[in-house]
């Protein structure tokens, strides 16, 4: 599969972004290749295009499939397994946010709740630490229902809402300035 120099640059950039977010660079680069692909890809095409080992491709495919960012598809007349990616960028980021919440935020909240109990019931109780943990939990208690509401909305209303950010600031009655955008 031939890719243009600009596609190579995008794939590299996506890989760097993924690495900064704690995602394996190869997984992120493969996701970028899928995102740019006009059709389904098989492991051999991916390995040849990205210049990575076939075993690495298999591991990355499992990771991307586990995240729900790609799915297997049947290509008539070809015995190899092909995959295609979620192409809608809004849906893709919704999936990524949901997975990060499930994998990172939910376990953190559970750990915070356990630590809070320990801080409050310890001998002696650590009331300062308990107060800080309550503040963190209050943040999650406020922001997660908002996140859940946004998650349930279809893509169109979310796009329109995102484009209304200046109006949201005005409704909040605050001039937050450009530095907080």
For the range 25-33, what are the long-range contacts, defined as Cβ-Cβ under 8 Å and sequence gap of 24 or more? Answer: 26/50, 26/52, 26/56, 26/60, 27/60, 27/63, 27/64, 30/57, 30/60, 30/61, 30/64, 31/64, 31/69, 31/70, 31/85, 33/3
Residues 5-85, CATH architecture: Orthogonal Bundle (1.10)
pLDDT tens per residue, range 141-155: 999 998 888 778 777
For residue 174, name the pLDDT band (cuts at 50, 70, 90): low
User: What is the per-residue pLDDT for 181?
Assistant: 47
pTM beyond cutoff 0.85: no
Across residues 15-24, what is the average pLDDT? 93
User: What is the per-residue pLDDT for 55?
Assistant: 94
User: What is the per-residue pLDDT for 104?
Assistant: 93
Domain positions in the chain: 5-85, 89-180
> Among residues 98, 99, 132, 138, which one has the least CA distance to residue 115?
132
Across residues 35-49, what is the average pLDDT? 95
Handedness of CA 162, 165, 167, 173 (dihedral sign): positive
| Phi, psi of 83, rounded to the nearest 5 degrees | -135, 150
User: What is the per-residue pLDDT for 40?
Assistant: 94
For residue 70, name the pLDDT band (cuts at 50, 70, 90): very high
User: Residue 104: which residues within 8 A CB-CB, separation 6 or more?
Assistant: none
């Amino acid at each position: 599969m031939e890719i243009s120099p600009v596609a190579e640059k995008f794939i590299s950039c996506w890989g760097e972004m993924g690495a900064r977010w704690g995602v394996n660079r190869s997984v992120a680069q493969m996701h970028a290749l899928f995102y740019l692909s006009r059709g389904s890809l098989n492991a051999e095409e991916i390995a040849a295009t990205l210049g990575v080992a076939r075993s690495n491709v298999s591991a990355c495919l499992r990771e991307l499939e586990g995240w729900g960012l790609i799915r297997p598809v049947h290509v008539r007349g070809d015995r190899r397994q092909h995959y295609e990616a979620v192409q809608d960028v809004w849906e893709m980021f919704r999936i990524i946010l949901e997975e990060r919440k499930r994998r990172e935020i939910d376990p953190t909240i559970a750990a915070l709740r356990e630590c809070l109990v320990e801080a409050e019931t310890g001998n002696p109780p650590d009331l300062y630490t308990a107060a800080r943990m309550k503040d963190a939990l209050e943040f999650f208690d406020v922001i997660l229902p908002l996140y859940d509401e946004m998650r349930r909305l279809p893509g169109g209303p979310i796009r329109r809402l995102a484009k209304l950010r200046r109006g949201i600031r005005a409704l909040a009655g605050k001039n937050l300035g450009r530095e907080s955008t």
